Amino acid sequence: MIALYRLAFLGLLIFLWWVASINVGRNLVPSPLATFQAAQVMIGEGRLATALWDSLSIYLSGYAMAIVVAIPIGVAMGAFRVLGKTVELYLYGLAATPRVAFIPLVIVLLGLGFEAKVFIVFLGAIMPILINTYAGVLDADEELIEMARSVGLRRTRIFVQIVLPSAVPFVIVGLRLGATIGLINTVVAELYTAVRGLGGLLAIYGNTFRMAEYFVVVLTLAAIGIVVTEALRYLETRLGRWRKAA
């Protein structure tokens, strides 16, 4: 039933898009048909596939690196309260700093290539994952932990069976936020460094007012966001079973 509602809503969006293309002017808002035709040309010429591969390799590399670094640090900060209280002030300050402010420094240190772009994505994705993991570990039920201690459970089992399962929803939220910001930073990185990938196509088509091709790139980015979100939703379902088993 939800699938039917989603299809109906998609049809409504396409209809509103078509109405906007008629009333606003196709130089600004291309029609759905013109966008579809542009997509066919871009796919046939290989431009879209090449740009998509460039962007995905940067995005997934930076996002994966953020996950590998952020989750262990967040868990450590939550498990060792002194460490968490010491570091959190600086962590929140860094999280509030716009990532764009670091791009000139990243370019100076890493250049304009793949490594710089991956690091910019990493900077965007790491903070929400780290902060939410830290908050999730802190949110563990203290009464349940005390009950576990009273029956003689070791700290390791308490941490694995009580603390980590309770942190799962927070971690998933952090992963979703990190995925969104990481995708945004992918485009930003491609605009500020060597102009390639989907961000490069956005710059080229936006500057030349080729709006049909521009919309193809925007829709491709939206599709990436949907796929990543659904993958994380599936992961949340699987981890939810683990939480119940724990």
pLDDT one-digit tens code per residue, 165-179: 778 888 888 999 999
| Beta strand ranges found along 98-161 (DSSP E) | none
> How confident is the model at residue 106, as a pLDDT?
81
> How confident is the model at residue 7, as a pLDDT?
85
> How confident is the model at residue 61, as a pLDDT?
93
> How confident is the model at residue 89, as a pLDDT?
85
> How confident is the model at residue 232, as a pLDDT?
84
Residue with tokens 């039917």: 4
Q: Which two tokens stand for residue 221?
A: 């980015």
Tell whether the model's pLDDT for residue 51 goes beyond 90. no
pLDDT confidence bin for 143, thresholds 50/70/90: low
Hey, which of 46-60, 91-105, 185-199, 227-241 has the most confident mean pLDDT? 46-60
SS (H, E, C) 36-90: HHHHHHHHHHCHHHHHHHHHHHHHHHHHHHHHHHHHHHHHHHHHCHHHHHHHHHH
> How confident is the model at residue 64, as a pLDDT?
94
Q: What is the pLDDT averaged over residues 116-134? A: 90
Length of the chain, please?
A: 246
pLDDT one-digit tens code per residue, 3-37: 788 888 888 888 888 888 888 766 778 888 888 88
Calculate what percentage of the chain has a pLDDT beyond 90.
12
On the 0-12 / 13-18 / 19+ scale of CB atoms within 10 A, 108 is: exposed
Tell whether the model's pLDDT for residue 146 goes beyond 70. no
Half-sphere exposure of 186 (CA within 13 A, CB side): 26
Closest alpha carbon to 191 in 205, 203, 175: 203
Tell whether the model's pLDDT for residue 45 goes beyond 80. yes
Q: What is the pLDDT averaged over residues 124-139? A: 88
Domain boundaries, the chain: 45-245
Q: What is the pLDDT averaged over residues 201-223? A: 87
Predicted TM-score (pTM) of this structure: 0.84
Hey, which of 23-27, 105-109, 128-132, 236-240 has the most confident mean pLDDT? 128-132
Q: What is the pLDDT averaged over residues 79-87? A: 83
State the Cα–Cα distance between residues 57 and 89, nearest whole angstrom: 33
| CATH code for the domain defined by 45-245 | 1.10.3720.10
Tell whether the model's pLDDT for residue 95 goes beyond 60. yes
Tell whether the model's pLDDT for residue 132 goes beyond 80. yes
Query: In this structure, are residues 170 and 135 in contact, taking their beta carbons and an 8 Å threshold?
Result: yes
Which region holds residue 23: left if phi is over 0, alpha if psi is between -120 and 50, else beta? alpha
Query: In this structure, are residues 137 and 163 in contact, taking their beta carbons and an 8 Å threshold?
Result: yes
Which residues are within 8 A (CB) of 113 and not within 5 positions of it... i.e. 6 or more apart?
193, 194
On the 0-12 / 13-18 / 19+ scale of CB atoms within 10 A, 105 is: exposed
Q: What is the pLDDT averaged over residues 230-245? A: 72
